[in-house]
Amino acid sequence: MAKEDAPSINGTVIRDGQPAGSVYVRLVGPSGEFVAEEYTKDDGVFEFHVAPGTWTIEARAAGAETAKQAVDVSSGAQTVTVEL
């Protein structure tokens, strides 16, 4: 499988209409297990390389509710926007 076809979740976290940097983002697997974590870059972007399946993205920032979004991944990059 070519790298550009490898399954991944690419996303941006938005808060108050703007990309939100330094937001804690968790990847939760199809069985509800914690898989990975990272902080968004200054432009609000995050990326996880995953296997095909249904994943959940959880974004948390100080002073905001935790936002959760399910993402179905089959192949290639799935692009999501998570709003806090």
| DSSP symbols for 15-49 | ETTEE-TT-EEEEE-TTS-EEEEEE--TTSEEEEE
Asked, for residue 79, whether it belongs to a domain, the answer is no
Q: What is the pLDDT along the chain (84 residues), one digit of tens a residue?
A: 445 578 999 999 999 999 999 999 999 999 999 999 999 999 999 999 999 999 999 999 988 889 999 999 998 999 999 999
- Please count the structural domains in the chain: 1
Specify the DSSP class assigned to residue 6: S
Q: In this structure, what CATH number is given to the domain that contains residue 40?
A: 2.60.40.10
Q: What is the extent of the structural domain holding 53?
A: 3-72
Residue with token string 């920032």 = 61
Asked, for residue 83, whether it belongs to a domain, the answer is no
pTM value > 0.85 = yes
